[in-house]
Chains A and B, each alone.
Chain A
């Protein structure tokens, strides 16, 4: 099947990279952070960019996926299937946990998506914001999830390969979606909801489905995140601030552009790290200084966003995609 060829290539390339980078722990750690953010940004872009709805609670879905999959993983880890080699068994459990975490987030997406039947714009944004906060409150008050202290002891399964394979899938998905009737209908809703409805598009159904699928991927991102952090707490990693970071990424990249979401997620994740490295250099290895630099991440995001909106309101890529350039030249279709 021709359509599966990219998957085979991606697996080969990622496996090779996994081996090549294995020795550099810091690089791998950064790449995991970056990859998770890319999955989050590309998936949020399905709601905010393609469908034109406004969600600012994406970290909430990430949290659902993180805690659900971490818990399941810990439970599964107590069992042995026996007939499989142990590493294979771990990867199988990992995969199951990710999918279940994603499904749990998707279910929440369905529930949060329902109000989008009636609400639009600011009102919908507030519902998604509220959802994100509710999730954190629920986690803090549920001993099973470790309460306010968080959940530790999750098996550290996440690898370079798994994160970037998820990135590959979500990007492939976003790209192929836009070249399908389903994706075109989402964009039609963004462009003109009344006209879309008049042309037979069940706008409410599509909006809810956009929420479900987007949340699924956010949940998977959360699951990946949970499996390389020694502890996940219902705090900053899943808070409103995190949600806003993702929103900034897709706005900066260009709402509706998957390429933009990827590029912005990479740059904006690495920027604070790069700055930290630079300041450590300047401060002569002063770790306290480096830590305070990390605090600058939020103001920097703010300033970046303001500058961006003043100079290039449509974002880096507008609604364009990198692969459109190829398409023009070859006259082929994605």
Chain B
């Protein structure tokens, strides 16, 4: 077993007759900053969806921190340390900027029972499984009581959550927006808020789906600098989907190029850029995108 935080092995997914992703391989380690590029419809977002558990791969395996996650639900995979943003921005629009991040910030709560033991019970054989579910339920319903009674422990937790959420907003340059509704933010800030929210879940690996889309040149350049900072500050492995070749060449140390679901090239940006297959794939596109 490799020590990769995120490891996809020959992952394929089919939608009816369409093979949206085939034999996709990827490894992300701590400190990696890799790029996933390719023309529109190449399967980049689909790759993210498979990695994060939105889709079940037709073939192949995905490992997060050494655990096989095929078939696990997205929230479970997130809890193992994989967080993402969405290409088509999916903020909690009617909530404030602060609440968007607070939701993602795991309560610094002390569970009633040992989490790992409950989880392993719940995945084990039957009588134990029921016990696991009951313990889990007890723990979860305790939250309702604590919310109603506002116990000192609860209030301490809330303070911790708020503090951390505000720190993350500060990092992403959104401190001045804390109390505004997410939907009222300009496009570029919404994208940054999505990153802040993803960071709230304390990920080890961050997947960014076209984080610079819709930004102007200046904003894009700033964002790229910021992404590098995030990597060192939070000791992350980062995988960025980006449509703009120039941009991604600038910051990524490794690129994987998809076209029609196939990996047509991978390696250092300089080498990938001149790869004839890559040039062809990008030339086949509408000139506006080049």
Most buried by A among B92, B107, B109: B92
Q: Which of A173, A198, A205, A209 makes the CB contact (< 8 A) with B148?
A: A173
Cβ of B106 under 8 Å from chain A: yes
Stretch at the interface among A34-42, A175-183, A290-298: A175-183
Q: Which partner residue on chain A sits nearest B73 by CB separation?
A: A197
Question: Do A184 and B102 touch (CB < 8 A)?
Answer: yes
Question: Do A183 and B147 touch (CB < 8 A)?
Answer: yes
Residues 195-243 of A contacting B (Cβ, < 8 Å): 195-205, 209, 213
Question: Do A195 and B79 touch (CB < 8 A)?
Answer: no
Cβ of A86 under 8 Å from chain B: no
Interface size on A, residues (CB 8 A): 32
Q: Which residues of B contact A195 (CB under 8 A)?
A: 86, 90-92
Residues 156-178 of A contacting B (Cβ, < 8 Å): 172-173, 176-177
Cβ of B246 under 8 Å from chain A: no
Cβ of A188 under 8 Å from chain B: yes
Cβ of A185 under 8 Å from chain B: yes
Q: How far is the CA of A17 from the CA of B168 in the complex (A)?
A: 49
Cβ of B94 under 8 Å from chain A: yes
Question: Do B158 and A209 touch (CB < 8 A)?
Answer: no
Q: How far is the CB of B282 from chain A (nearest CB, A)?
A: 30
Question: Do B147 and A176 touch (CB < 8 A)?
Answer: yes
Question: Do A205 and B140 touch (CB < 8 A)?
Answer: yes
Interface size on B, residues (CB 8 A): 42
Q: Which residues of A contact B147 (CB under 8 A)?
A: 173, 176-177, 179-183
Cβ of A24 under 8 Å from chain B: no
Q: How far is the CA of A195 from the CA of B177 in the complex (A)?
A: 21
Q: Which residues of B contact A204 (CB under 8 A)?
A: 73
Interface string of B82-123 (1 = CB under 8 A from A): 011010001111110001001110110100000000000000
Cβ of A16 under 8 Å from chain B: no
Cβ of B70 under 8 Å from chain A: no
Q: How far is the CB of B30 from chain A (nearest CB, A)?
A: 20
Q: How far is the CA of A185 from the CA of B136 in the complex (A)?
A: 17
Question: Do B95 and A191 touch (CB < 8 A)?
Answer: yes
Q: How far is the CA of A319 from the CA of B183 in the complex (A)?
A: 15
What are 8 A-B pairs with beta-carbon distances under 8 A?
A: A180-B154, A182-B144, A184-B99, A192-B90, A197-B78, A198-B84, A199-B197, A209-B141
| Residues of chain B having any CB pair with chain A under 8 Å | 52, 54, 73-75, 78-79, 83-84, 86, 90-95, 99, 102-104, 106-107, 109, 136, 140-141, 143-144, 146-151, 154, 157-158, 161, 197-198, 200-201
Other contacts beyond A3-B151, A177-B147, A180-B158: 19, CB < 8 A:
A3-B150, A176-B148, A177-B144, A181-B102, A182-B147, A184-B99, A187-B92, A187-B95, A191-B92, A194-B54, A194-B90, A195-B91, A195-B92, A197-B78, A199-B104, A199-B197, A200-B78, A200-B79, A201-B103
